[in-house]
Structure formats: structure tokens, C-alpha cells
Amino acid sequence: QQRTLRRTRRKRCRCTEAMDDFDDEGDVEETEFLDEAEDGEKDASGDEIPEELNEEEVIDIGALAEVQDKVFEEIQLPSDIIEEAQAGWNSFIQMSSSRDAAGEAIYAALFDAAPSLQSLFKTPRSVMAMRFMNGLTGIMNALSTPHALKVMVETLGFQHLDLDVTVPRVAIFRDAIVDLFDMELGTRFTSKMRAGLCAIMNYVGGAIIYIRREYAGRIKILNSSWRTASNKDASDLEEACLEPPNPDGAAGDGDHTDAKDKDDPNASDPNAKAQAKTGGTSLISQIQSQMQVPKTFNEMFLFNAAVMGFGNSGWMHLVLEQFDAMVTNVANSYRLQEECDVLSLVLAQYEGDIILSEFKAVMLASLRSLVPKDWDSAHEVAWNWFWENVERMLKAIMGKPTVQQASLERFIMSLDEDNLTYLRREIYKRFFTVAPAGQDHFKQSTTRLYWIADKVIEMTSEMYRDPKKLVEDISALGLRHVGYGIPTEFFAPFVSSAVDAVKTINPEEIAQEAFRWSLTLVSKILVRTILEGSTIVMKAINTNDAKQLRKAISVAPRGKRASELLNITVGTQSISPLYWAIESGSLNTAKAMLEDLLVIRADRDNYYYGCDQLFERHPEIIHKLTSDAPNLLRTLLDGLVWRSRLILQGQRRVNYYVKHLVQNADGGFNQALEWIVEGQDPKIICHDVVVLFADMLWSGLAGHFFLLGRCYFLFTLAVFITGQSILPQLHEDPSNQTNAERIAIFTCRILIYVFSMGQLFVNQVRCLVSDCRSGHIVRLFKVIPFPEYLTNMMQVGNLALMLCLLVLCTQDPIFHCINNEGQLFTQHCDGQPNIEVYSTLSMVAMLLYWALLLDLTIFSMQISAFTLVCGRVLSELGLFIGSLIFLIITFASSISALNHNCSDFTNIPAGALSLMEISLGMFPSEHFHQIQEEVAVLLTVSLFIIIVIIFLLNLLVAQLNGAYGAVYDDMVGYARLTRGSIIVSALGGISVKRWDRYLETLGFEERLEFNEGDVGLAGGIQVTEPANEHPTTVENIRRFGGSTSPAMPWPAEEHLQGDGAEDKLDRLEKIILRATKKMTKKNKAANSSSISQSQQSGSSARSADDDNESDR
């Protein structure tokens, strides 16, 4: 039966934000804009034209046509209505620019539907929009499975226990959603879609009312009594119990204690597991010896278990380990079922009898002891109801895992390579057929996809063998999928495809059931982890949009703002959004996160600065940025500086918060400087923060220890000079030396051979052994292996000096003449070695001694920078010398081939020597007369002079100039890098007591003033600098008035980063689009109305004519 429905709606948008940021002359309000659009659609008579005129089929959806709050049962809608409803939902999402935009549209429709609903919206807009999308998407996907739909709606009802949901409010909610779909989908919004959507909203709303009426009291009793029994904080328990699956609430509150300790009820009692296994007698004796009354549920339970004769029941401890998670998630049916499934697998590995009623008796006895004042019959009913549900879930599975595990393992072991290849290919073939959109998320190679399929099959078997470990691994995997941005809608089709693919191989029925059940449990854990970890911050990171990140974090409470950027914890696993942004390449959002963390915000009561939280959560952040994102290191260092905009006597106050760069969490020397030096960035090492704390360490500790170490080297150099260059040259004739002089020379050489060469030898052996043990071996030319310490030029110089001294010791003439009957310690005797070899090696050793003394230039940055520049341009000089040698050999061999009479070029060696003298300007001028007599020789030598002196020498000057210009800007940075490496090596040998005394002098625990009388934050060093060095005209501390509650978010900061203008344009664009869409719909409705009127008038005229004819 068809009927015509004329419906007229007149809706005015109640704008939640006034566009008051525009100029006064250009002020625009959304309500005015839309009112003008509506007024333009009125006809001449002033009547408003109806929005739409269409024909709809009347769909009978039975009792679900109204909100049913008396019963809560499974529903089964007709398949055609389900398909239409799901198609409408998918169309609505596709018409939106993104899932977030669709959630925003739903939020706006609900918020504007009625003023009475606005008081229920206490969560920030972006968070609520994401919740609406996740909840409605899950409900729509579960329409075809009544049981799953009921469990999901039941979980949703438990989450709304604290809200006053009524039938009229459900009707308003339903009508707002239906009107939104009607407006967005237009003609595509069919009557079946409308009926299905109304039925779903009525079912969900009625279920929420029913659950709140029937179970709210029991849930509250369980929460309050468990809070008392386990000594949990009320706010933490309420947040965990009432809103466990909210994707925005998974982040921690800044408490970086081990998440496993929070979830494990036995974390406070490390001996609980041992006590559970020792039996009742030892447990009682231990408690009596301690003479302590049990105060927590774990202690009381173990005590009562021992007293009641259940001390040897080790399975109770297994239940107790997960009991806290079950009670905490009693309002979440999905999570409770998941915990019971995992517990059943754990209990399946226990050898012995399991009587669940015994645990119930001990549980109730313990609760009565811990909650004596509040315990009554209502508590008894609530806890009995809770344990009956848990026991029912456990008994439904107990006994099956052992059989299923054996069958599944036999099936997996029976798969050969052909079957595995077929199974891998079939899984993805079926999955891409069922969910074509999933192909967009599987971008890896086929071999990688096959590896994933193998891991999936392996997980199904591992779940039976070690369920606890696999749950932790899956939680970590789920948190990584949060960063990948994988929609959870794809997990169910993937599981179905994998199960169907396994069925094609025809395994045993038990193996099929085991594979299906295990893989379903894995997918449930993954989906839960992703939903709990999918915060709005992670979604912003996936877009790599700094503006979206600032918008997402702006709704966070000021007391938890830093923790939401640094930690997301799900179960025992955690992930850092900041590290994920760096590792995934979202450097724009990573930079915005660092800037937000290191901004000092303040209200009247507190200063908020994320520096401490950042280094506590990531003590190795400097190393992470140096290796993975060096461009962000300057952003981090800039955030550690505060400069006052006030000037006093030409000086500006500056606070450097360098505590976490100097000391680590244990109070030892931090590796920050070592990591910065390893980065070899001459600009970062010259940053004001690094310069301050590096110079502070140099002047306070490292400089003194380094100088003390070099004093020994200076002493050995003085002894070597005395024994080799001063005492032997006192007399022209060595035979005139006195005995005292010869004894002094011998003593100096013995000191050098023993103390200098010995010290060098020990140092070389120590470095060699250390590199060999640690495997620090590098290959010269990728062939010759040698220890890594020889890559340091100072160590190479030490090795060369040691070898020279060793050869000197073997060639020393005093040792060869020791048996001479002549003078004591003489150097002249028969049979002595060639004195020229000894003197040459002595000269080389002297040069090496002085060269190794160049590291003392580190005390002056200017001298050190000059030395380093000289070293860096030596490569250009080496190229020149190499070219000169090549030309000398070339022209010497060429001239020797001529027939001439020049004695200076008779052969190649003589010619090469003459050409070298010409190049250095040492060739005698009178010898040029002989060259002039030989024309061929003259031309060849002239060509050599032109190439070498005119071309190569000037080219060398140009190269040196270019090389110096390239390193000039960074020469101080390279000098500081050298000093930094010396600081790191010097501080490694400082005692703990000396280091602790030095830290006390820094006073990091004292709070620093920002301005006079304004005592701020601790952990820094305050200095003054010239006002013109870093001009600052803006206050670096963002101060806010209003409420000072840590639970309140900071007020909007639209003036920052230029986001205000962009937000205005975005809002204006949305207004125009909505107005245009509304005017278009009204034009269509007007046209339909005019056509209908013309048809009616035409039919009336024809009927009048027929009447006239009949009268005639």
C-alpha cells in the first residue's frame, strides 16, 4: 500500500561558536546566514515551502517501532533491512571527508537536537565524536549476529550507568540521527534504511535504560566494595570501570610505574605465588611469624585459603592473578568474557582438581573481613551474581582447551609446504573478496603477507601453550596497529576468511573449532587494544598534521597533558606517541609534540612544564633524536631555555633547565653529551644549552682531571728532551762528558723506556683487548681488520710513539757499550750500531711527542679551532703534493730520454731532484745557463715551471681558501666536539663521591625565579646575558586565569601558530556548504510541490469537464 506523506520541518541551527573573531564590520553568524537562506525560500504568500515531498513504503518493524525498556533480549531484524541499514551507514561515512568528520556531524546533530541533551555532553567534542563513530560502527557491523549485538549493546549500557537515560531522551537521540541521515543521504535514504535505523536506536536506548535500572546498583556495590578491599583510589577505579573501552582514555595519567604492577593483583605481594605453592602450614607459619594482619584482598585471600584448608590449591593463585582484571571490567561484557577465556586456558595447564565453588567461599570470607562495616545482603547478592557469571563462563570452556590444543597441533604439524602455500594464498584471496577495502592496507610484498599468515597460524597454537605471554605480545602488536591506523572492522572478515580457508583443507572438526576459537580470541584482544589505544593524539599523528595534533591535545586536562603525549598503556604494554611519531616519519607532529611539552604554562597555583615527564619517560631522548631525527634536536634544546623579556641594567635573566642533561635518573653522569658528540653536528654542539652545561662540566670537573693526566705526559716530554737534546749537546766532543752527565743521560733514557714506553704499551694493550672482546673491529679498505680505537688519530700517534721508543730501546748505544771497560755509560765503543739510525728515530719520536701535545689546545677554543682548521685543509695540501710528485716523475723521465749534455738531468733521479729544487726555489741560478744551451730541455723545463708554479700553486691557494671558507663557520663547533669527547672520557674516571659533591654545588633542587618575587621551577641554572644578545619581546610563559584545577584543560590558544585564521576559514566554508545543501534540497522540494499542484489542478479541471458533460 502506497501513500503520500507531506512533512514540513523547520530547523534553525543553534550555533555553538560565534564568529566573533572576524572584524567588527564583517561579523558573520551562522544562524543569520542560514536564516537568510531559509527566508529566500518562501513563496509570495509568506508560507514556507516544504523541505521534501516523497513517497515512502510503510515498514513494519514490530515492537522496535518504539523504545523497549521492559525487556532486553536478542533481536533479529529482516535481512533486507539489515542490508539497507548497513549500506546507509557506509554511504554516510563515504559522503563525509573522513571518519572524524562523520563523527563531528553526528555530534553536531545530537548537540543541536535539544537543549536538554547538552548537559549530558561533558567530554570534549573531538573525543565524543570518535566515541560515536566507534560505537555506531560496531553496532552496525554486528546487526547480522544477534548474540554479538546483544553483548555489544550490553557493554554500552554498562558504560552509561552514570547517565540519566530516559525514553524521551532516546527518542530525541533517535530522531536527530534519522534527520541527519535524511539530510545527508537525500533520496538515497530509503524507507528500509529509516526503519532499520529507528529499530537499532530504539533497541540500544531501551537496553541502556533496562541495564541501568536492573544492574546499576550491583555494579556500584561491586566497585565500592572492591575499592575498599583492594585499597584502590576511587577516581582511578571509576575511570577504569565505567569507561574501560574508550579510545581516548587509554593514556596514562603521568604515573610511569610499571603497568604490569597495576594490573597484577599480586604486585604488592611478590611472595604470593610462592605462598600458593607451599601449602597451608607454611603459609600460616609465615603470617604468624610476621605478626601482621592482612590488609589487602590478596593477603586476606591467601590467609583465609590457608585457614580453610585450601592452601595447597595452587589453581586459586592463578585465578587470583586475574581476579582484579575481572572485577575491574565487570561492566564490560566483552572484556570480562576475554579475561575468562584467557583464565580458562591458564587453568587448563594446571594438573589437579579445580572446584570453583571453593574459590567463591574464600572470596566471600575475605570480602566480609575487609568490608565489615558496609557488608550487607545487597553485597552478598552482588558478589554472588558476579561469581555466578564468571563461573558460568569458565565452565563453558573448561575441559575443552586440552583436547583442542592436541588436535590443533596435529593439524598444523601435518601441513606440508604445498598446503601452507595454498592456505596463505587462500586466506588473502577470501579476505580481499569479503572486504575489498582491506587491499588498501596490505601494501607489503607477497612474501611479507605470507609471513603474516604464518604468524597468525602460529598464534592460534601459541594461545593454548602460553596464553599469558601471548596476550602481552598481542597487546604490543595491537598498540603498533594503533600507529598504523588499521580500522578494526577488518579483523572480523579476516578471521572468517582464515577459518573458511582452513575448512577447505578438511581438518578434524575439533581442530577447526580450536582454530576458530583461538583466532577469534586473538582478534578480540587486538581489537580491544586498538580501541583502547586509539587516542585522538594517535589519530593526529597518523595525519602528520601539527594543527590537528594541537587541536587533539587541547582537550586534555592540564595535569595529564604531558602524559597523553608520552604514554599510552593497554594492559601490561605501553607505547609512546612521541616515539611512534618519530619512528613513523611524522616529524611535523613530533615537532609539535616537543614544542607543546616544553612550553611553560602557568595558572595562579602551579607551573606546568613537561621537561621532567619527558626525560623520565624517555631518558634516552637525546640519543633517539640524534640518530633518528636530528632536525628535532634543536627544537628540544630550544625548549630547555627560558629568557625574560624584562631588562635590568642591560642584562637579561635566563634559565637553562639542564638537570636531565647533566645527571641521569640515578644521579650519575648523563650520556647526553656523549650522544651529542657522536652525532658530530658542529651546530648543535654550539647551541646555548649544550655550551652552558658542557663548559660547566669542563670548568668544574673534566678540565682539572684532563690537565692532571697531561701533566704526566709533559713530564715525560721534558725528560726525553733532556736526555736526547740537551745533555748530549753540552760538549762538542762526546768524549769530554763527565760521569755525572753520562749518568743523567742514562737515567733519562731509562725513565723514558720504563715509564713512558711502558705506560703507552699498557694503554695500547688495554684498548686492543677491549675492542676485541666487544667486537669493535673495522676493516681498512674493507679487507684489513684492525681495532676500532685506531680510528682515533691520537691513539694512532700513541702507537707510533710507542713503536719508535721500542726501536730506540733496541738501538740505544749505551746498552751496546754497557760491557765496555772504558767510561761508564758511554755511547762510543767498538761494535756499536749505526748512530745515524738512532738519531733519526730520536728525531721522529721528538716530533711525535710534540704532535701529541696538541690536544692541550683544547683549553682555548680559538687555538683549538685554528688547529682543527689546519688539519682539515691538509687534505688539499696532500692533493697538491701528490700532483707535484706525479709531474716531477713525468718530466724527469721525459727529459732523461732526450739527447742532451745537462749534468743536472743525466738520469731520472738527478732530473727529479733538479725539478724538485726548481719547484721549491732551491735550484742554483748559475745552472740555468747550462739548461739554456739545450733548447729541448729548456722548453720542457719551462713547461714544467708553468704547470707547477703558475697553475698548481695558484690552484692550491684557491683550494685552501675554499676549504677554509667551508669549515670556518663550523670550526668552533668542531673544537667543541673535540672538547666534548675529552669531557666524556675524563668524567668516566671520576669517583662517585666527587661527582655527588659536584652535583650539590649545582643546586638543581632549588627553584629558580622567573622575575622578581616569581619563584618558578627547579632543575636548572640561572645566568644573565647581554640584552642585545637574544632580543626577546614576548613572554615565554603562557599564563592563564580562571580555574586552577588540574582536571581542567587549558583555554584555547588560537593566536599561536597562525591557526586562528585557518579555523575561521574552515568554519565559514562549513557554513556555506551547509547552507548551499539546504537551499538545493528546498529547491527540489519546491519543484516537486509545484508539479504536484499543477497535476492536482489539471485533474480538477478534467473532473469538472466530465461533470459538465454528464449534466449535458
Cα angle 181, 187, 193 (rounded to 5 degrees) comes to 50
- At 332 the pLDDT is 78
296 CB neighbour count, 10 Å cutoff: 18
The 10s digit of each residue's pLDDT in 1013-1053 is 888 899 999 999 998 888 888 888 999 988 888 888 898 77
Q: Select from 620, 610, 608 the least CA-distant residue to 640.
A: 610
- Amino acid letter, residue 215: Y
Q: Which residues partner with 641 through β-bridges? A: 656
376 vs 45, 238, 389, CA distance in Å? 71, 22, 20
The answer to whether 662 and 697 are in contact (CB under 8 A) is yes
| Prediction pTM value | 0.68
The 10s digit of each residue's pLDDT in 79-95 is 888 888 888 888 888 88
704-736 exposure pattern, b = at least 16 Cβ within 10 A, e = fewer: ebbeeebeebeebbebbebbbeebbeeeeebee
Rounded to the nearest integer, the mean pLDDT of the chain is 80
Strand ordering across the sheet containing 607-608: 607-608, 600-602, 1037-1039
- At 4 the pLDDT is 33
Radius of gyration of the chain (CA): 42
The 10s digit of each residue's pLDDT in 480-528 is 777 677 778 888 889 989 998 998 888 888 998 899 899 989 988 888 8
- At 144 the pLDDT is 85
The 10s digit of each residue's pLDDT in 613-651 is 999 999 999 999 999 999 999 999 999 999 998 888 889
The 10s digit of each residue's pLDDT in 437-451 is 888 888 888 898 999
The answer to whether 788 and 776 are in contact (CB under 8 A) is yes
The H or E element spanning position 1016 is: strand 1014-1018
Band of the pLDDT at 284, cuts 50, 70, 90?
very low
Q: Is the pLDDT of residue 372 over 90?
A: no
In sequence order, what are the residues at sequence separation of 6 or more whose Cβ sits closer than 8 angstroms to the Cβ of residue 739? 823, 824, 825
Q: Is the pLDDT of residue 16 over 70?
A: no
3-state percent helix, strand, coil for the chain, nearest multiple of 5 = 70, 5, 25
Name, of 253-267, 742-756, 1050-1064, the range with top average pLDDT: 742-756
Cite the DSSP H helix spans in 40-114: 79-95, 99-113
Q: Is the pLDDT of residue 56 over 60?
A: no
Range name among 140-154, 383-397, 760-774, 810-824 with the lowest pLDDT average: 810-824
- Amino acid letter, residue 338: E
Q: Is the pLDDT of residue 255 over 90?
A: no
The H or E element spanning position 647 is: strand 641-648
What are the φ/ψ torsions at residue 17 (nearest 5 degrees)?
-135, 125
352: left (phi over 0), alpha (psi -120 to 50) or beta: left
**Cell numbers given for 221:** 556495590
Q: Is the pLDDT of residue 264 over 70?
A: no
Q: What percent of the chain has pLDDT over 70?
A: 82
